[in-house]
Structure 1
């Protein structure tokens, strides 16, 4: 096209000069003929340029450019072809966008697009049902202003979206929703929301069943253990061959009571998201008590148990729940550390929050088992728990206590070289003791 333009321009200029020379030949005024001819040509060119400018400034979408002749006709023609090509491209893109919107509109899951600041850009129809978003008045609003659950605000601001968040729907408390956040593009967010009410109900039924069965079994088991204890207190009056059987029955009954207590504790932990007695806990004194109990549990095994704890670092939460979690970690270290082994307990704080680590020189755990250690009744070795009297629920209790305190458990272990269990608590859960700070 550029070569055509160049040829047309040269032809027009040659015709103009030829015509001016002919007029000059007739009139005898070559200079004036050329000046007038070039002036008329420039005037015509300026007029076409002004027409183009006016069309560019005022034209409506898809309005064709004005008609023209000669060189300017080709210019207007080229603009028209570019315009049509752009329309076809836009049409294809719009078709793709329409198809994507139709497919996402058909989804039962909500899809929401957020900008880098968390403001709403686009959402499908399911988002209006699950989150109560309204079109178009909610466009551009921060998502935290419309989903006001405190756990969602905390989840969105922490910028750690590895795990999904489950909360009640803003439109209906009886509907449970699960939210997934993903980053894309220039730090924008894509949020997916699913209705998990049915799954939540099934999980709640399971929890209620376990809690109810555990509660119902407690009374008859207490009666059985009580009679066994009475019989063993009067073992001299019983046939000697029944003595060993009664002792084993009492041991198993005691183990069942421990298992029921752990199941009831888990049911209690799962009942609510936050501890009911949320207050500053002096972790250093709590760990000192646990260390003394662990020393008594170790007995004559000669294990070296050390405690390094910052007394100024307090933790907001339930002292009873924290005692249960921390003691589980320490007592496990005692059980699985050989005689003369070392167990080190540390409690400290830094910019990332507060941390508790329990390190032992025990038998260690194969790496393939680490991701599943906090599952209920998961056992690395089926004989290990029976030998040590464990129920298989200790680390599950630890996990749920930490979740209720917005913390996480990190496990590292090497076979034959011991294990380290570290609890990481976020800064909002940590506070300082004024008394200790003032003394310092």
Structure 2
């Protein structure tokens, strides 16, 4: 305020001096104009000095000036100095980020809001074949043209990674993960999981081969035990009980081997050859009959059909998946429980529900229920004859049908297992 007061007094003083001299000469208006012109000339001179300083040497000391112009020069100089320090810190931070990204073995690709390439590290150049001189500014789908990546990129749902072969080396397996940040920009990271993929493939082959080799000896053992079981009345009581227990454990091992073989086939075989429109009502009716046979009247099972739409898929695989859910409901709910098999619309798609009013499941277990051999209650699962693979089979069957499994359960409130299918899987 003091500087502004000085400038105002200066203007008043120059105007008064000009008017006084003009009055002395008999032209007060001209004198006033001369005074105001002098004031304007002074400010134009300082403005020219400011312009020259900003254009020619903004990093040097500002020109000296009295009053408000000196304050303005000093403030601009301090502001520019602060901005330079901030820019230097940002450049240093960016350089460190780029250096750390260069040290990573994983590919890092930065995209703008349109999906065009902005920057990438050397690992991305090796894995994806990107070249700085030619590829900057190109759209990412010009290089990753696999339809699965294009769908993944456009879906904007990046909660799960995508596994594909490298665009420049089919022997290399890459796992892509996209992250949204900033102004709708994207960060694409790609990991080389070739070794993990091979180990996983070896595990699958091992499980499949061992399970297949176990089928023959188990069949032979089961056959002999069945023969001895027919002669149980002629055997000592202790030996008869032993044969009965061996039969039960052999049956359990056969069920485990069958589930392992089915799970291996679901993981290895792409499927799709037997997909056709399925009458869901008839499917659920068959599942209900099998579940009633397992229940032996202990639970009540009913079917609720809220849509006449058909489901496109493999009837055998879907029957296996829904049967696993229904059988689990029968095994793990107390007598007099109520179990419902339901087919209804869910948004643009459809869903098959298996709901019960049993004891429920603690939510802490829900994220791991579809893992192989994961059991909420190991003792109870073994007693009911479960293999620990049922929900893993359900998960893989649904993945082969572009569907998802959601589980909603709380202790004492029953459980709801919902298989959600997209609209593309529905047929009128």
Whether TM exceeds 0.5 here: the answer is: yes
- Asked if the contact 2:18/2:33 (under 8 Å) is kept, the reply is no
Matching of residue 337 in structure 1 with residue 333 in structure 2? yes
Q: CA separation in 1, counterparts of 2:22 and 2:64?
A: 26
Question: SS where residue 171 of structure 2 aligns?
Answer: strand
Between stretches 46-55 and 366-375, larger displacement belongs to 46-55
TM-fit CA distance, 1:18: 7.2
- Asked if the contact 1:313/1:432 (under 8 Å) is kept, the reply is yes
Q: CA separation in 2, counterparts of 1:252 and 1:112?
A: 54
TM-fit CA distance, 1:280: 3.2
Q: CA separation in 1, counterparts of 2:69 and 2:352?
A: 81
Matching of residue 126 in structure 1 with residue 118 in structure 2? no
- Asked if the contact 2:111/2:186 (under 8 Å) is kept, the reply is yes
Q: 1:152 — aligned with what?
A: 149
Between stretches 283-292 and 131-140, larger displacement belongs to 131-140
Q: How many residue pairs align between the two structures?
A: 426
The correspondence of residues 163-174 of structure 1 with structure 2, limited to 5 A, is 163-174=160-171
Matching of residue 220 in structure 1 with residue 217 in structure 2? yes
Q: 2:426 — aligned with what?
A: 431
TM-fit CA distance, 1:284: 2.4
Q: CA separation in 2, counterparts of 1:305 and 1:179?
A: 44
Q: 2:192 — aligned with what?
A: 195
Matching of residue 313 in structure 1 with residue 309 in structure 2? yes
Question: SS where residue 172 of structure 2 aligns?
Answer: strand
- Asked if the contact 2:53/2:63 (under 8 Å) is kept, the reply is no
Unaligned runs of 5+ in 1: 434-440
Q: Of 86, 93, 97, which aligns to 1:96?
A: 93
Change (3 A) 1:41 1:195: same
Q: Provide the alpha-carbon RMSD of the alignment.
A: 3.8
Change (3 A) 1:141 1:244: same
- Asked if the contact 2:307/2:345 (under 8 Å) is kept, the reply is no
TM-fit CA distance, 1:237: 6.9
Q: Residues 75-116 of structure 1, C-alpha deviation per residue, up to 9 Å, x if partnerless? A: 667656654543343223222222222222222223333344
Question: SS where residue 105 of structure 2 aligns?
Answer: coil
TM-fit CA distance, 1:282: 2.8
- Asked if the contact 1:284/1:310 (under 8 Å) is kept, the reply is no
Unaligned runs of 5+ in 2: none
Matching of residue 255 in structure 1 with residue 252 in structure 2? yes
TM-fit CA distance, 1:221: 1.7
- Asked if the contact 1:114/1:120 (under 8 Å) is kept, the reply is yes
TM-fit CA distance, 1:259: 0.6
- Asked if the contact 1:21/1:30 (under 8 Å) is kept, the reply is no
- Asked if the contact 2:355/2:416 (under 8 Å) is kept, the reply is yes
- Asked if the contact 2:3/2:67 (under 8 Å) is kept, the reply is no
Q: 1:284 — aligned with what?
A: 281
Change (3 A) 1:4 1:44: closer
Between stretches 80-89 and 308-317, larger displacement belongs to 80-89
Q: CA separation in 1, counterparts of 2:387 and 2:166?
A: 36
TM-fit CA distance, 1:45: 5.5
Q: Of 341, 344, 349, which aligns to 1:348?
A: 344
Matching of residue 408 in structure 1 with residue 413 in structure 2? no
- Asked if the contact 1:364/1:416 (under 8 Å) is kept, the reply is yes
Q: 2:110 — aligned with what?
A: 113
Q: CA separation in 1, counterparts of 2:304 and 2:168?
A: 49
Change (3 A) 1:239 1:42: closer
Q: CA separation in 2, counterparts of 1:322 and 1:236?
A: 42
Q: CA separation in 2, counterparts of 1:36 and 1:15?
A: 9
The correspondence of residues 1-400 of structure 1 with structure 2, limited to 5 A, is 39=37, 42=40, 46=44, 49=47, 59=55, 74=70, 82-135=79-132, 137-233=134-230, 242-272=239-269, 275-299=272-296, 301=297, 303-310=299-306, 312-400=308-396
- Asked if the contact 1:277/1:317 (under 8 Å) is kept, the reply is yes
TM-fit CA distance, 1:397: 0.9
TM-fit CA distance, 1:262: 0.4
Q: 1:436 — aligned with what?
A: none
- Asked if the contact 1:65/1:76 (under 8 Å) is kept, the reply is no
TM-score normalized by structure 2? 0.82
TM-score normalized by structure 1? 0.80
Q: CA separation in 2, counterparts of 1:359 and 1:101?
A: 52
